[in-house]
Amino acid sequence: MMLYRAGILVILLACPLVALSDTGLVNAANSNLKNTGEIQQPDPGRISGRVTDTIDAAGYTYAEVDTGKEKVWAAASTTPLKIGDVIAFTTEMPMMNFHSNSLNRDFPVIYFVNRFITEKEGQADTGTGMASPHGSSRPVAAAGTIEGIDRLEGGHTIAEVYTDKQTLNGKAVRIRGKVTKFTANVMNKNWVHIRDSSTLDDLTLTTDGTAAVDAVVVIEGKLALDRDFGFGYVYPLIVEDARLTKE
């Protein structure tokens, strides 16, 4: 819990004026601190697009960005931006239904970020780059294998799900896995990452159930491909509304 509180404090200190002056963000941060230490924040993805509006206020730049699918707002320390610029930013701190006292304005969602990544920086960026705004939402390849998490009789392994994803799209899958990450109540869903012994890749699922990290579970739900939940969360493969049973 202390590490979790420290993480929140670092983010808030990176955005001191807006983060600490607007009561909506303070309340949201306090609410986050009530989570248990077991609950982790979602992996940050990356959003990129063209600036369609900017507001400079109290040492901060608010930017509206058109991703090609939707327009989203983000705020960072004062940055010289103009309409038409292409920028990117990470999604580690989205605030829903946020009221800014300094602007006297409501935002359905806004991202508070350390900085905006400009088009020039993005082209030099190795890894996701500007052209791949959702790199962190893709399956995560882990460093080591997990032993002893084998295929269920009549079920699937995670490797089989990836290999046969086109055939299994829209169908129920049943998988045994070890929980590597649990995130509660994001977009009214609980998000779980599981791994098994068949591959280094993990599998993401949504559920109304709960599970501790390192627990072995059996999940059953419908496989979906190329799911875009908005706000930078895009999953090429995900199991939705899964029933989760602990072994």
Are residue 12 and residue 124 in the same domain, yes or no?
yes
The distance of Cα 142 from the centroid of its chain, to the nearest Å, equals 18
Give the end of a domain, one of 82, 112, 136.
136
Q: 109, 181, 137, 179: which is closest to 45 by C-alpha?
A: 137
CATH number of the domain where residue 102 is located: 2.40.50.140
Nearest-5° Cα angle at 90, 8 to 211: 60
Are residue 91 and residue 172 in the same domain, yes or no?
no
Nearest-5° Cα angle at 139, 211 to 214: 25
Are residue 125 and residue 210 in the same domain, yes or no?
no
Mean pLDDT by 10 residues, the chain (247 residues): 40 39 39 36 67 87 90 89 90 79 87 79 41 36 75 94 95 95 82 91 92 94 88 81 94
What are the φ and ψ backbone dihedral angles of 31, each rounded to 5 degrees? Answer: -65, -40
Count the domains in the chain: 2
Q: With residue 179 as reference, give the H or E element that holds it.
A: strand 172-186
**Beta carbons within 8 Å of 143's beta carbon, 6+ residues apart:** 200
Report the alpha-carbon distance of residue 244 to residue 247 in Å, rounded.
Answer: 10
Q: How is residue 197 written in tokens?
A: 């012994």
Are residue 43 and residue 127 in the same domain, yes or no?
yes
Q: Quote the domain boundaries for residue 181.
A: 139-246
Are residue 110 and residue 152 in the same domain, yes or no?
no
Are residue 91 and residue 146 in the same domain, yes or no?
no
Q: 156: which DSSP letter?
A: B
Report the alpha-carbon distance of residue 11 to residue 29 in Å, rounded.
Answer: 10
pLDDT value of position 119: 67
Are residue 91 and residue 177 in the same domain, yes or no?
no
Give the end of a domain, one of 111, 136, 161.
136
**Beta carbons within 8 Å of 233's beta carbon, 6+ residues apart:** 42, 45, 91, 134, 137, 187
Are residue 124 and residue 11 in the same domain, yes or no?
yes
Are residue 164 and residue 199 in the same domain, yes or no?
yes
Are residue 51 and residue 22 in the same domain, yes or no?
yes
